[in-house]
Amino acid sequence: MIPNRQMVLEAGNRVAPFVHRTPVLTSRLLNELAGAEVYFKCENLQKMGAFKMRGAINAILQLSEAQKKAGVVTHSSGNFGQALALAAKNLGVNAFIVMPSSAPAVKIEAVKAYGGLVIITEPTLEARERSAVSIVAEKGAVFLHPSNDLNVIVGQGTAALELFQDQPGLEYIMGPVGGGGLIAGTALAAHYLGNNCKVVGGEPKEADDAYRAFKSGKIEYNKSVDTIADGLKTNLGDINFPIIMELVSEIIRVEEEEIISAMKLIWERMKLVIEPSSAVPFAALLKEGKKFKNKKVGIILSGGNVELTNLPF
């Protein structure tokens, strides 16, 4: 199902009181380097440091009072867990966050600080899913998937919705591709409000399941995910994949050194703290410069939750 225009617009109005309307920034130097007019939508400055706050709020707000009372549950190694915990706290809802034992301690503590009830499992997807299912059965909580839930997807698209409102006339809009929630939501916003703006995803070559899925027409999986872009190691889902296939123009793969170089440029030149995943679409723009020459390009800087003790430069 492709959500309609009304769903996209309603999501924008629904989340507005609960999220920051993040700024859109530009850099003359980066424009010169890219050969394009680039407009960065700074979701690294969003509450809890990432765009995922939008999808979490949008999904919870559409639950019934009985469902809210029972609480929500997700499994996440980081950003969506933090987003759901904070969104739930702001709305007076219990949030059960299943996290792997391998998750960074700083992320586990952040979820707890936001009021999330953390359940630690073995570091396998099967263990996380099993634990989430048992919480649904025991507590009656509603399971919300980090990227493969329609209300979450439409919520994530509100970042692009704001970008189109603030910067009309974009010819391309770019975002990173991991689980597919952000790029699918962005594509929906572009479809209804972008005035023929093309949607392009950026993806690490070391975790290129979406690129391969785009070519094969079916969901693909990664045998290994040896990328610095830790937020992009997950797979597409059966809800977001059809949206991506229909509405995304292209997915561009980038090498690890290209991600690091793009990340460093944004830190140095724009003084913005972004995580590696955020740098992927800008790396894709720099890599395929000829395609975007003299074009107006929007880029979603997806988040800024980076471990400062583990920078790649």
Burial 64-80, CB ≥16 within 10 A → b, else e: eeeebebbbbbbbbbbb
Task: Give me the number of domains the chain comprises.
Answer: 2
Residue 231 is predicted with a pLDDT of: 86
Task: Tell me which of 76, 77, 131, 277 is the catalytic residue.
Answer: 77
For residue 294, give every residue at least 6 positions away whose Cβ sits within 8 Å of its Cβ, in sequence order, or none.
35, 36, 37
Task: Tell me which of 41, 52, 198, 233 is the catalytic residue.
Answer: 52
Residues 25 and 169 in one domain: yes
Residues 21 and 82 in one domain: no
Residues 115 and 199 in one domain: no
Last residue of a domain, one of 91, 117, 147: 147
**Does the annotation mark 52 as catalytic?**
yes
Q: Where are the alpha helices (DSSP H) in 140-275?
A: 150-156, 158-166, 181-193, 209-216, 240-247, 256-270
Residues 12 and 130 in one domain: no
What does the DSSP assignment read for 214-227?
A: HHHSS----S----
Query: Which DSSP helix (H) or strand (E) runs through 116?
Result: none
**Structural domain that includes position 232:** 5-50+151-310
Residues 239 and 131 in one domain: no
Residue 93 is predicted with a pLDDT of: 97
Last residue of a domain, one of 147, 165, 191: 147
For residue 71, give every residue at least 6 positions away whose Cβ sits within 8 Å of its Cβ, in sequence order, or none.
88, 93, 94, 95, 96, 139, 140, 141, 142
Which residues are registered as beta bridge partners of 175? 201
Which residues are registered as beta bridge partners of 198? 172
Q: What is the mean pLDDT of each run of 10 residues along the chain (313 residues)?
A: 92 98 98 98 96 98 97 90 96 96 84 96 89 95 96 98 97 97 98 97 96 96 89 92 98 98 98 97 97 98 89 90
Q: Sign of the CA dihedral 63, 177, 301, 228?
A: positive
Residue 33 is predicted with a pLDDT of: 96
Query: Which DSSP helix (H) or strand (E) runs through 250?
Result: strand 250-254
**Does the annotation mark 102 as catalytic?**
no
- The answer, as to whether pTM is greater than 0.75, is yes
Last residue of a domain, one of 128, 147, 166: 147
